[in-house]
Every structure is written in structure tokens, then in C-alpha cells.
């Protein structure tokens, strides 16, 4: 009976608040879609670094050192992505969006930053370099990250030029890449509408699990 009441409440929220608000609610509880770790590293490819650095054990993806980056085999244009991550005290990572395989993915594509925000060595970063930011472009609206070595949730929605990021149930980015035309030369990935999804290990230790993606068709 409680499920029926909750379902009715979501419908009411959609009608009252509009589609955008309903999307924010759905991202906080997971998006469904394809499980990208269901078959281990099948469906992934390593770009750069020493092959074999990335591994999956008991459903958890990790890297041993800075072993290049891990890319999906498939390219995506509009999609919703959800994942859980756990970053070590000196961890530095990120999620690459719509990137090609040549060039720095943070610039030729886009990067949603993952880092241990509270680490002493990162205290002087710019606001657009903390967890949940579009790296170097858009700072998160609030610092919603958790402490080191705690599992955290992240959701990302790319629909045309609009990019939305949720971190631990809070929406921290909702922007349009066309707002940043003055940054397109240094960050050409802002203009891309299709490419690979990737995961970075930039040192310090990071793990991922429950990575799911759902292409958006309309």
C-alpha cells in the first residue's frame, strides 16, 4: 500500500512541478538502464597506460596505479549515467563524457570531477575542480561530497548541450554548454554531442561499482 501512495506522489510532483523537477527526483533514486559491470571488463577498453591495470572483483572496479583511462566500447550521445564511487584520502579521479580516444579526455570531451575534497593537498583548488564539477568549467552549487573511503553516488544526465549532475542525492550542476562559448577553444569537448564514457584513475586510489547507463532517445 505504501508503494501505491509513493507512486501517486511522484505523479503528482510531475504534474505540479514539471518534467525537469521530476527528472531530479528520479536521479536521486537511480536510473535503471544497462549494468556496465555485469560482465566485468567486457564492454570496456583501456586507453593508454600499461594494459591490465584495471580490474573487476566482486562487482567493484579498481585500478592499480595511473593506468591510462577506461573507456566504454560504445559511444553515446544523450544518456543518463549513475554510479557509486569510493575515493581514498589522496584520491583523484573523474568521469569522462562524450570524449574521443585521442587527446586529453578532460578537454576534448568533458570531465565530471571526483576527488577527495577535504584532502589537505587539494585545499587550494578552484571551485570548478571539486567533486561534481564539470572540470575547469562549472563549479558544483554546493559541496555535497562525503569523507574519504565512503561510498558515494553520482548521477549524470546529458541531453544535447544540457548537463546535469547529482551527487549523493543533491543536484549540484544544471547547466548548458553553450553558455561557455568563450571556453570552447580551450575545452573543445563542450561542443561535442557524441563520444565515449570513461573513468579516470589519476592516482591515490578510487573504486567504482553499480555503473548503469540509459540512452535517451527523445
pLDDT value, residue 6: 39
From residue 163, give the alpha-carbon distance in Å to each of 47, 51, 86, 127, 148: 24, 32, 23, 18, 26
So what's the pLDDT on residue 114? 96
Q: pLDDT tens digits, the chain, 218 residues: what are they?
A: 433 333 443 333 333 333 343 344 334 435 679 999 999 999 999 998 878 889 999 999 998 766 689 999 999 999 999 999 999 988 889 999 999 999 999 999 999 999 998 888 878 899 999 999 999 999 999 999 999 999 999 999 999 999 999 999 999 999 999 999 999 999 999 999 999 999 998 777 899 999 999 999 87
* Contacts with 153 (C-beta within 8 Å, 6 or more apart), sequence order: 82, 83, 84, 166, 167, 168, 169
Domain residues of the chain, as ranges?
A: 1-30, 32-215
The CATH architecture annotation of domain 32-215 reads Sandwich (2.60)
Q: What is the DSSP string of 110-174?
A: EEEEEE-TT-GGGTT--GGGSTTSBTTTB--SS-----TTS-EEEEEEEETTEEEEEETTEEEEE
Q: Is 124 left (phi over 0), alpha (psi -120 to 50) or beta?
A: alpha
> Is-contact 98 76, C-beta < 8 A?
yes
Backbone angles phi, psi at 102, to 5 degrees: -115, 140
| Residues 37, 57: Cα–Cα separation, whole Å | 10
Are 74 and 42 a contacting pair, CB within 8 Å?
Answer: no
d(CA 165, CA 94): 13
| CA-to-CA separations, 11 to 6, 31, 217, in angstroms, rounded | 9, 17, 22
Query: How many DSSP H helices and E strands does the chain contain?
Result: 3, 13
- Report pTM: 0.84
Which positions ≥6 away from 199 have C-beta within 8 Å?
61, 69, 70, 93, 94, 95, 96, 208
- What's the burial of 1, exposed, middle or buried (CB within 10 Å: 0-12/13-18/19+)? exposed
Amino acid at each position: 500500500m505504501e508503494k501505491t501512495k509513493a507512486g501517486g506522489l511522484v505523479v503528482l510532483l510531475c504534474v505540479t512541478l514539471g518534467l525537469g523537477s521530476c527528472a531530479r527526483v528520479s536521479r536521486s533514486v537511480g536510473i535503471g538502464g544497462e549494468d556496465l559491470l555485469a560482465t566485468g571488463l567486457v564492454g570496456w577498453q583501456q586507453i593508454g597506460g600499461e594494459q591490465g591495470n584495471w580490474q573487476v572483483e566482486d562487482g567493484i572496479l579498481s585500478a592499480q596505479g595511473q593506468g591510462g583511462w577506461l573507456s566504454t566500447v560504445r559511444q553515446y550521445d544523450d544518456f543518463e549515467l549513475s554510479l557509486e564511487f569510493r575515493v581514498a584520502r589522496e584520491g583523484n579521479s573523474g568521469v569522462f563524457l562524450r570524449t574521443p580516444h585521442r587527446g586529453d579526455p578532460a578537454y576534448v570531451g568533458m570531465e565530471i570531477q571526483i576527488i577527495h575534497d577535504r584532502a589537505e593537498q587539494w585545499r587550494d583548488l578552484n571551485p570548478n575542480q571539486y567533486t561534481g564539477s564539470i572540470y575547469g568549467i562549472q563549479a558544483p552549487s554546493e559541496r555535497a561530497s562525503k569523507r574519504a573511503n565512503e561510498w558515494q553516488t553520482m548521477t549524470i544526465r546529458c541531453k544535447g548541450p544540457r548537463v546535469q549532475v547529482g551527487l549523493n542525492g543533491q543536484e549540484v550542476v544544471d547547466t548548458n554548454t553553450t553558455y561557455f562559448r568563450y571556453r570552447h577553444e580551450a575545452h573543445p569537448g563542450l561542443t561535442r554531442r557524441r563520444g565515449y564514457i570513461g573513468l579516470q584513475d589519476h592516482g591515490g586510489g578510487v573504486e567504482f561499482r553499480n555503473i548503469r547507463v540509459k540512452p535517451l532517445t527523445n
